[in-house]
Structure 1
Protein backbone atom coordinates (compact mmCIF):
# COMPACT_ATOMS: atom_id res chain seq x y z
CA UNK A 1 0.00 0.00 0.00
CA UNK A 2 1.01 3.61 -0.57
CA UNK A 3 2.04 5.96 2.24
CA UNK A 4 -0.84 7.12 4.43
CA UNK A 5 -2.80 9.89 2.77
CA UNK A 6 -2.14 8.83 -0.84
CA UNK A 7 -4.32 6.57 -2.96
CA UNK A 8 -2.54 5.24 -6.05
CA UNK A 9 -3.51 3.42 -9.24
CA UNK A 10 -2.00 0.29 -7.74
CA UNK A 11 -4.21 0.69 -4.65
CA UNK A 12 -7.30 0.98 -6.86
CA UNK A 13 -6.30 -2.10 -8.84
CA UNK A 14 -5.58 -4.06 -5.65
CA UNK A 15 -8.98 -3.08 -4.24
CA UNK A 16 -10.68 -4.30 -7.43
CA UNK A 17 -8.72 -7.53 -7.20
CA UNK A 18 -9.86 -8.19 -3.60
CA UNK A 19 -13.43 -6.86 -3.72
CA UNK A 20 -14.53 -7.89 -7.23
CA UNK A 21 -12.30 -10.91 -7.73
CA UNK A 22 -10.67 -9.82 -10.98
CA UNK A 23 -7.10 -10.94 -11.58
CA UNK A 24 -4.43 -8.41 -10.66
CA UNK A 25 -3.63 -7.89 -14.35
CA UNK A 26 -7.29 -7.36 -15.29
CA UNK A 27 -7.79 -5.02 -12.32
CA UNK A 28 -4.81 -2.89 -13.35
CA UNK A 29 -6.00 -2.87 -16.96
CA UNK A 30 -9.51 -1.75 -15.91
CA UNK A 31 -8.15 1.08 -13.75
CA UNK A 32 -5.96 2.26 -16.66
CA UNK A 33 -8.92 2.12 -19.08
CA UNK A 34 -11.15 4.16 -16.78
CA UNK A 35 -8.47 6.79 -16.17
CA UNK A 36 -7.71 6.82 -19.90
CA UNK A 37 -11.36 7.52 -20.75
CA UNK A 38 -11.45 10.33 -18.20
CA UNK A 39 -8.23 11.90 -19.58
CA UNK A 40 -9.48 11.60 -23.14
CA UNK A 41 -12.79 13.29 -22.32
CA UNK A 42 -11.02 16.12 -20.46
CA UNK A 43 -8.55 16.63 -23.31
CA UNK A 44 -11.53 17.04 -25.66
CA UNK A 45 -12.89 19.78 -23.40
CA UNK A 46 -15.63 17.65 -21.84
CA UNK A 47 -16.39 17.67 -18.12
CA UNK A 48 -16.30 14.38 -16.21
CA UNK A 49 -19.04 13.75 -13.65
CA UNK A 50 -18.98 10.75 -11.34
CA UNK A 51 -22.26 10.55 -9.42
CA UNK A 52 -21.81 10.54 -5.66
CA UNK A 53 -18.14 11.52 -6.04
CA UNK A 54 -17.76 14.80 -7.91
CA UNK A 55 -17.16 16.62 -11.17
CA UNK A 56 -13.92 17.45 -12.96
CA UNK A 57 -14.46 20.74 -14.80
CA UNK A 58 -12.22 22.53 -17.31
CA UNK A 59 -12.20 26.31 -16.99
CA UNK A 60 -10.61 28.86 -19.28
CA UNK A 61 -8.86 31.62 -17.37
CA UNK A 62 -8.27 34.86 -19.19
CA UNK A 63 -5.06 36.84 -19.34
CA UNK A 64 -4.40 38.86 -16.22
CA UNK A 65 -1.71 40.89 -14.55
CA UNK A 66 0.22 39.25 -11.73
CA UNK A 67 2.89 40.58 -9.44
CA UNK A 68 6.26 39.10 -8.58
CA UNK A 69 6.06 38.93 -4.76
CA UNK A 70 9.81 39.39 -4.38
CA UNK A 71 10.27 42.46 -6.58
CA UNK A 72 6.73 43.82 -6.88
CA UNK A 73 7.13 43.96 -10.68
CA UNK A 74 3.91 43.41 -12.61
CA UNK A 75 3.99 40.56 -15.13
CA UNK A 76 1.31 39.38 -17.54
CA UNK A 77 -0.08 35.90 -16.90
CA UNK A 78 -1.08 34.18 -20.14
CA UNK A 79 -4.58 32.80 -20.62
CA UNK A 80 -4.79 29.11 -19.82
CA UNK A 81 -7.11 26.21 -19.23
CA UNK A 82 -7.26 24.80 -15.71
CA UNK A 83 -8.79 21.64 -14.31
CA UNK A 84 -10.86 21.92 -11.16
CA UNK A 85 -12.64 19.32 -9.07
CA UNK A 86 -15.89 19.93 -7.27
CA UNK A 87 -16.88 17.24 -4.77
CA UNK A 88 -20.51 16.11 -4.76
CA UNK A 89 -22.66 16.93 -1.75
CA UNK A 90 -22.59 13.25 -0.77
CA UNK A 91 -18.77 13.27 -0.81
CA UNK A 92 -18.59 16.52 1.15
CA UNK A 93 -20.94 15.08 3.78
CA UNK A 94 -18.76 11.95 4.09
CA UNK A 95 -15.60 14.04 4.45
CA UNK A 96 -17.13 16.26 7.14
CA UNK A 97 -18.51 13.30 9.11
CA UNK A 98 -15.23 11.39 8.71
CA UNK A 99 -16.77 8.14 7.48
Structure 2
Protein backbone atom coordinates (compact mmCIF):
# COMPACT_ATOMS: atom_id res chain seq x y z
CA UNK A 1 0.00 0.00 0.00
CA UNK A 2 2.78 2.42 0.88
CA UNK A 3 4.57 1.81 -2.43
CA UNK A 4 1.36 2.47 -4.38
CA UNK A 5 0.77 5.76 -2.54
CA UNK A 6 4.40 6.78 -3.16
CA UNK A 7 3.75 6.28 -6.89
CA UNK A 8 0.67 8.50 -6.61
CA UNK A 9 -1.78 5.64 -7.18
CA UNK A 10 -5.21 5.43 -5.58
CA UNK A 11 -5.90 2.50 -3.24
CA UNK A 12 -9.43 1.19 -2.80
CA UNK A 13 -10.49 -1.39 -0.21
CA UNK A 14 -13.98 -2.53 -1.22
CA UNK A 15 -16.57 -1.93 1.46
CA UNK A 16 -14.10 0.04 3.61
CA UNK A 17 -12.90 3.12 1.75
CA UNK A 18 -10.17 4.56 -0.45
CA UNK A 19 -6.86 6.36 0.02
CA UNK A 20 -5.27 8.82 -2.37
CA UNK A 21 -2.70 11.61 -2.37
CA UNK A 22 -3.73 15.27 -2.35
CA UNK A 23 -1.20 17.95 -3.25
CA UNK A 24 -1.49 21.03 -1.06
CA UNK A 25 -0.38 24.43 -2.37
CA UNK A 26 2.02 26.67 -0.46
CA UNK A 27 0.11 29.18 1.66
CA UNK A 28 0.29 31.60 4.56
CA UNK A 29 -1.05 30.33 7.89
CA UNK A 30 -1.34 32.01 11.28
CA UNK A 31 0.07 31.00 14.63
CA UNK A 32 -3.06 31.16 16.83
CA UNK A 33 -1.06 32.08 19.93
CA UNK A 34 0.94 34.98 18.48
CA UNK A 35 -1.25 35.74 15.41
CA UNK A 36 1.99 35.93 13.38
CA UNK A 37 1.96 34.86 9.73
CA UNK A 38 3.73 31.55 9.13
CA UNK A 39 4.64 30.29 5.64
CA UNK A 40 3.57 26.70 4.90
CA UNK A 41 5.39 24.98 2.03
CA UNK A 42 3.58 22.92 -0.59
CA UNK A 43 3.32 19.26 0.40
CA UNK A 44 1.48 16.02 -0.24
CA UNK A 45 -1.14 14.67 2.15
CA UNK A 46 -2.97 11.34 2.37
CA UNK A 47 -6.74 11.62 1.94
CA UNK A 48 -9.17 8.90 3.09
CA UNK A 49 -12.74 8.62 1.87
CA UNK A 50 -15.02 6.29 3.82
CA UNK A 51 -16.84 3.69 1.73
CA UNK A 52 -20.64 3.61 1.57
CA UNK A 53 -20.97 0.18 3.20
CA UNK A 54 -18.63 1.00 6.09
CA UNK A 55 -20.28 4.38 6.62
CA UNK A 56 -23.68 2.76 6.83
CA UNK A 57 -22.44 0.15 9.28
CA UNK A 58 -20.83 2.80 11.47
CA UNK A 59 -23.94 4.97 11.38
CA UNK A 60 -26.20 1.90 11.76
CA UNK A 61 -28.44 3.04 8.91
CA UNK A 62 -29.95 1.30 5.92
CA UNK A 63 -28.01 1.31 2.65
CA UNK A 64 -28.74 4.47 0.72
CA UNK A 65 -27.13 6.54 -1.98
CA UNK A 66 -27.40 10.32 -1.85
CA UNK A 67 -26.81 12.82 -4.65
CA UNK A 68 -24.50 15.03 -2.57
CA UNK A 69 -20.75 14.85 -3.24
- Tell me the TM-score normalized by structure 1: 0.59
Q: Which runs of 5+ in 2 are unaligned?
A: 62-69
Instruction: Indicate the structure (1 or 2) with the bigger Cα radius of gyration.
Output: 1
- Tell me the TM-score normalized by structure 2: 0.83
Number of the residue aligned with 1:79: 42
Say how many residue pairs are matched.
61
RMSD after superposition: 1.2
> What CA distance in whole angstroms lies between the structure 2 residues aligned with 1:86 and 1:67?
28
Alignment of 1:17-56 (within 5 A): 38-56=1-19
Report the structure, 1 or 2, having the larger strand content: 2
> What CA distance in whole angstroms lies between the structure 2 residues aligned with 1:53 and 1:68?
36
Report the structure, 1 or 2, having the larger helix content: 1
Number of the residue aligned with 1:24: none
Q: Which runs of 5+ in 1 are unaligned?
A: 1-37
Please point out which of 62, 70, 92 is paired with 2:25: 62
Greater RCO (Cα-Cα under 8 Å, separation 6 or more): 2
